[in-house]
Amino acid sequence: MPKNIHTSSDSKKAWVVAPDMGYGHQRTAYPLRSITPGMEIINVNNYPGIPLKDRKIWQTTRSFYEFISRFRRIPFIGLFLFIFFDSFQKILGYYPKRDLSKGNFSGKIIFSSIKKGWGKDLIERLAQKRLPLISTFFTPAFMAEHFKYPEDIYCVICDADIARAWVSLHPKKSRIKYFVPNSWVRDRLKLYGVPDGNIILTGYPLPKENIGGLHLETLKKDLGYRLLNLDPKGKYRKVYGPLVKGYLGQLPAMPNHPLTILFSIGGAGAQKEIALELVNNLKDKIRAKELRFIISVGTREELREYFAKNIKGLHLDGWVHILSGTTTNEYFETFNLALRTTDILMTKPSELSFYAGLGIPIIIEPSIGSQEDFNRRWLLHIGAAVLQENPKYIDQWLFDLLDAGDLAEVAMQGFVEIEKMGTYAIEKIIATGKIPNKKAGFYHR
């Protein structure tokens, strides 16, 4: 039995591991907790009994990432330092198509630390209970392969395109299998030399509480109410009524919540000034109860206090809500519940880009890093998001988008174009040991 880690006799389980670096990798793991022993996601950089040397490597990585994310806002030197850091995880242009399988400098650094024993303790603990291993970050998957983990190793991709760092130095020899969210990642992995048999197009693992089962009951119900708020003058429904009815059935007569924006702040807290500026520029609409605004701050108490202090004097009568949690799981649970009555998601193009598949239009905040630049390109490519205009004039451009029905169109684009059944597909693979095909009912496109 792995020391200090729960186990289960159920063979249809898997270890799900994720690092605590921002929210992206843990948010990706959260919907998969039902297939884990004890409903527990293992935090690879903070599990009970982690060796001090391993903890220090993870702490250095996280601290540097958060520092860079905040420091980049400083003119000249901050931007220069961020560009230098981002060059190590840069995603190259897709064209011209060419062989990108050769390992790069960042990958060699990672494997150098692994060869010195980084991650060996974790893998040896997990190997005592032989279950498939699912990682939402590439490093634990590399660790598992290097230290000869005895069961299948899966890696869940949480971006719309990925850097070479996600793939082993010798991809053709690697046995790591990838759960990929879209065709962009699938085709990119092929350029990196990953064999076709190790690429599984499942879709991103969205929260089941927002899906509602294989027939999307919850998702369709929530989207029906949302469209009423996103298309207040009925312009979109007038033109595309048959399409909407074909996907959602008859829409309700009235919305079940006020027009609601949810602004999500990343783990590094780099967008807090933008969120506060938006609230200030929307305060007249909020006071008139034309709009509810939710600021999602995660688990960071200092961010909650920052907004509580700065919003207090605006007298917005409770129509601005600060969403937070004392633990990551509590935060995700509260966040997913809030999404059900959210009409517009404002976020940098992180892993939340895939939440457009829930039929929630995304207004894209400035991106941080190469992977988010590609997430933005993907969202705009499929029509599931719009770029943020000048925050100073949000009280004008936001309501122009609503009156024209444009955000309703964006919501339906995300719902139609993005695969929504990733969590169910991954669960099916773990339960059966087989890769589902399109006839298995997991692919809705």
Separation CA 145–CA 123 (nearest Å) = 9
Q: Which amino acid is at 148?
A: K
User: Has residue 2 been placed in a domain?
Assistant: no
- If asked whether residues 241 and 166 sit together in one domain, one would say no
User: Has residue 334 been placed in a domain?
Assistant: yes
- If asked whether residues 336 and 429 sit together in one domain, one would say no
- If asked whether residues 48 and 73 sit together in one domain, one would say yes
CATH of the domain at 291: 3.40.50.2000
Closest-CA residue to 202 (of 367, 38, 31): 31
CATH of the domain at 179: 3.40.50
- If asked whether residues 363 and 310 sit together in one domain, one would say yes
First to last CA, the chain: 42
Closest-CA residue to 72 (of 330, 337, 266): 266
- If asked whether residues 202 and 220 sit together in one domain, one would say no
Q: What is the CA radius of gyration of the chain?
A: 22
- If asked whether residues 195 and 93 sit together in one domain, one would say yes
- If asked whether residues 157 and 247 sit together in one domain, one would say no
User: Has residue 7 been placed in a domain?
Assistant: no
Separation CA 14–CA 280 (nearest Å) = 46
In eight-state DSSP terms, residue 93 is P
- If asked whether residues 213 and 336 sit together in one domain, one would say yes
Distance of CA 317 to CAs 257, 283, 310, 314, 335, Å?
16, 11, 14, 9, 21
Q: Which amino acid is at 271?
A: Q
Number of domains the chain is built from: 2
User: Has residue 235 been placed in a domain?
Assistant: yes
* Burial of 187 from C-beta contacts in 10 A (0-12 / 13-18 / 19+): middle
- Look up the domain containing 197 and give its range: 15-206+421-440
CB atoms within 10 A of CB 143: 28
Token readout for 422 is 């990733």
User: Has residue 224 been placed in a domain?
Assistant: yes
Separation CA 121–CA 45 (nearest Å) = 11
Cβ neighbours for 184, distance < 8 A, ≥ 6 positions apart: 160, 161, 374, 378
- If asked whether residues 373 and 406 sit together in one domain, one would say yes
Dihedral angle sign, alpha carbons of residues 414, 418, 424, 430: negative
- If asked whether residues 248 and 388 sit together in one domain, one would say yes
User: Has residue 3 been placed in a domain?
Assistant: no
User: Has residue 266 been placed in a domain?
Assistant: yes
- If asked whether residues 268 and 171 sit together in one domain, one would say no
Cβ neighbours for 29, distance < 8 A, ≥ 6 positions apart: 16, 17, 18, 41, 134, 136, 156
User: Has residue 254 been placed in a domain?
Assistant: yes
- If asked whether residues 159 and 222 sit together in one domain, one would say no
Q: What is the full per-residue pLDDT of the chain (445 aa) written as tens digits?
A: 355 444 444 568 999 999 988 899 999 999 999 999 999 999 999 999 999 999 988 887 655 555 455 545 555 444 444 444 444 567 888 888 888 888 877 788 889 999 999 999 999 999 999 999 999 999 999 999 999 999 999 999 999 999 999 999 999 999 999 999 999 999 999 999 999 999 999 999 999 999 999 999 999 999 999 999 999 999 999 999 999 999 999 999 999 999 999 999 976 667 889 999 999 999 999 999 999 999 999 999 999 999 999 988 887 878 999 999 999 999 999 999 999 999 999 999 999 999 999 999 999 998 877 889 999 999 999 999 999 999 999 999 999 999 999 999 999 999 999 999 999 999 999 999 887 665 444 443 3
Q: What is the DSSP string of 194-257?
A: --GGGEEE------GGGT-TTTTHHHHHHHHHHHHHH-TT-HHHHHHHHHHHHHH-SPPSS-SS
Whether this prediction's pTM lies above 0.85 is answered by yes
